[in-house]
Amino acid sequence: MDTAALVAAVRDGELRLHELEDRADADAAAEARRRLLAEETGADLETVGAYAFDAADAESNIENAVGAAQVPMGVVGPVAIDGGAVDGERYLPLATTEGALVASVNRGCAAIGAAGGATARVLQSAMTRAPVFRVADVGEAGAVAAWVRDSFETLAAAAEATTSHGELREVTPYVVGDSVFLRFAYDTKDAMGMNMATIATEAAAEVVERETPAELVALSGNLCSDKKPAAVNSVEGRGRTVAADVEIPGDIVEDYFGTTPAAIVEANTRKNLVGSAKAGSLGFNAHAANTVAAAFLATGQDMAQVVEGANAITTAEVRDGGPASGASGASPDAETSGGALYASVTLASLEVGTVGGGTALPTQAEALEVVGVGGGGDPAGSNADALAEVIAAAALGGELSLLGALAADNLAGAHEELGR
């Protein structure tokens, strides 16, 4: 059928919008949908339709396809990273529509580079899924929780039978009245792992239902917690818990940001710590979500998981650069500028993968290649770890740059006043 015929078939009710692929290939179905939408809404979908890949390549990623959203992609770096999974310089593509974001992150990365690079570490890796079960009463809840604590091997066997890569690390029971939540935590290697964890947990949940009186109510009970801003993730982590830090001599701070370590520390304390405290926030940072979102978009991550990516804490302190403080690499000049700046970003729940999800889509796969982490790593999990460390280092760059700008604006104001 040609496009007109397909459109007519939908209009006539012969075919539903999502059934177009039954009659045509993916590109033709998308074209038909664009035509239909154009006619019904007056919108012209020409650019949406001008995507540079075969629609069939995205069939596992989208339904009711009409084309592609095209988001400008820039690049930051290279930034030198002394990490657990990455060692050396890396570029990071960022896709965003927010002007100045790439420039800002890049400026921060440049300052990090001038100071000798960032240190980064994946501190924990665990994808979680937490089904909720109904029990008769709190007595039964206690018994089920006890059974679960005693039956890790049984549950692991069931869960791991569903996957060739995933390993069950821990199952933690939480009880609220007659609801029992079991938080299953998996090592999912280079995959972000949500699907893997869900399938494995479904199998384990069947065992729980078979062996105990608990009845499954929902395979996800929000203790996971996926795509919600939840303290359980901030505290216990989800996906990668990853941190990056740097110590920047005062003269480099002055060169790159036009301000002092002390001014940046004050901005960080009043804004990121005290301000976030007063706001009842789970995010104690300036704009970590910006870097996370742009990196996620470029590299094919799940954009709704930016929510958890924002569970980040940024710290800053003035260090004297001397050996007593355990700091290293501060230049003597740091002293004359009032010490060196130590800054860190810790992302509690950064959910990333280099296989699965959107990572195989053409532009996304290319972006992962730029980072040098396309596909599965060797050992398994090392590519996703490396990606997490690069994102953390870039987020640190973004924090430094924005804090520097905020602090410099005010110094500037102060200077103007003094100049009067």
Q: How far is the CB of 275 from a copy of itself (least distance, A)?
A: 3
Nearest to 340 by CA among 353, 358, 324, 322: 322
For the segment 304-343, give every residue that binds a copy of itself (CB under 8 A): 304-307, 310-311, 313-315, 317, 326-328, 342-343
Per the annotation, the verdict on 18 as an active-site residue is no
| Region of 150-158, 250-258, 362-370, 377-385 interacting with a copy of itself (CB under 8 A) | 362-370
> Of 46, 54, 98, 369, which is the active-site residue?
98
Q: Which listed residue (8, 114, 123, 157) binds a copy of itself by CB under 8 A?
A: 123
Q: Which listed residue (12, 13, 22, 137) binds a copy of itself by CB under 8 A?
A: 137
> Of 302, 308, 317, 399, which is the active-site residue?
302
Q: How far is the CB of 338 from a copy of itself (least distance, A)?
A: 12
Q: How far is the CB of 157 from a copy of itself (least distance, A)?
A: 20
399 contact partners, CB below 8 Å, separation of at least 6: 108, 285, 286, 287, 288, 314, 343, 345
228 lies in the site for a copy of itself, by CB under 8 A:
yes
Report the C-alpha gap between 281 and 288 in whole angstroms: 14
283-303 in b/e burial notation, b at 16+ Cβ within 10 A? bbbbbbbbbbbbbbbbbbbbe
Q: Which listed residue (200, 286, 334, 394) binds a copy of itself by CB under 8 A?
A: 286
Q: Which listed residue (15, 32, 33, 116) binds a copy of itself by CB under 8 A?
A: 33
> Site size for a copy of itself, by CB under 8 A?
172
375 lies in the site for a copy of itself, by CB under 8 A:
no
Q: How far is the CB of 257 from a copy of itself (least distance, A)?
A: 13
119 and 246 in contact (C-beta within 8 Å)? yes
| Residue in the structure block whose two tokens are 């005010």 | 410
Q: Which is nearer to a copy of itself, 163 or 291 (CB)?
A: 291
Per the annotation, the verdict on 165 as an active-site residue is no
Q: Which listed residue (185, 289, 350, 390) binds a copy of itself by CB under 8 A?
A: 289
204 lies in the site for a copy of itself, by CB under 8 A:
no
Per the annotation, the verdict on 82 as an active-site residue is no
Q: Within the chain, what is the greatest distance between any pair of CA atoms?
A: 80
Q: Which listed residue (13, 99, 332, 419) binds a copy of itself by CB under 8 A?
A: 99
Report the C-alpha gap between 340 and 349 in whole angstroms: 29
Report the C-alpha gap between 395 and 112 in whole angstroms: 11
81 contact partners, CB below 8 Å, separation of at least 6: 87, 88, 89, 90, 117, 118, 119, 120, 244, 389, 390, 393
178 lies in the site for a copy of itself, by CB under 8 A:
yes
Chain centroid offset of residue 367 CA: 15
Q: Which is nearer to a copy of itself, 307 or 384 (CB)?
A: 307
Report the C-alpha gap between 142 and 135 in whole angstroms: 10
| Region of 2-10, 153-161, 162-170, 213-221 interacting with a copy of itself (CB under 8 A) | 213-221
178 to 141, 172, 224: CA distances (angstroms): 6, 16, 18
Catalytic residues: 98, 302, 415
